[in-house]
Amino acid sequence: MSWVKASNGHAPANSLVAGHDVTGEPIYVIRAEHEGDLIPGKLVSSNKAATISWGCKEILKTEYEVLVKSTNQWVPDRGGNVPANALKAGRTREDDPLYIGRVHYLNSITPGKVHPKHGLCYISFDGKELNFTNYEVLLEN
């Protein structure tokens, strides 16, 4: 498992496909810096940018890191809980850990961030930040 720098919609070889958008296009796991946070998010290559959820909005990022050579093992969880072997993928500026989660929403499977302190999984979707109490969590290799 590693993170590879990328930009402008590019997904390197061996990128983890975590789901698909409403058209069936693959969605990859990314992370990007924003306002002092390192935030897990998603990449749909045809959009030419990755997106993260932050401050009730979907934020576009043209520079990001893509998760490669990772397991594709997901387990259901809820309420901010994550298993001991969940993949820590980011942190807030207060140093709270952020994990990779995903949800099934409107005919998509969309990855985002699990923020245990908030008790939620957040995804970026259609310009907004959406939150869910039930989600799946990505496990480490």
Q: For the segment 4-19, what is each residue's pLDDT rounded down to a tens digit? A: 999 999 999 999 999 9
Nearest to 17 by CA among 108, 98, 79: 108
DSSP string, the chain: -EEEEEETT---TTB-EEEE-TTS-EEEEEEEEETTEEEEEEEEGGGTEEEEEETTEEEEESEEEEEES----EEEEETT---TTB-EEEE-TT--EEEEEEEEETTEEEEEEEETTTTEEEEEETTEEEEESEEEEEBP-
Return the pLDDT at 71.
85
Return the pLDDT at 119.
97
Tokens of 83: 């298993």
pLDDT in tens, 77-106: 999 999 999 999 999 999 999 999 999 999
Q: How far is Cα 99 from Cα 116, in angstroms, rounded to an integer?
A: 8
Return the pLDDT at 70.
85
Return the pLDDT at 141.
78
Global pTM value? 0.95
74 has a pLDDT exceeding 90: yes
132 has a pLDDT exceeding 90: yes
pLDDT in tens, 19-63: 999 999 999 999 999 999 999 999 999 999 999 999 999 999 999
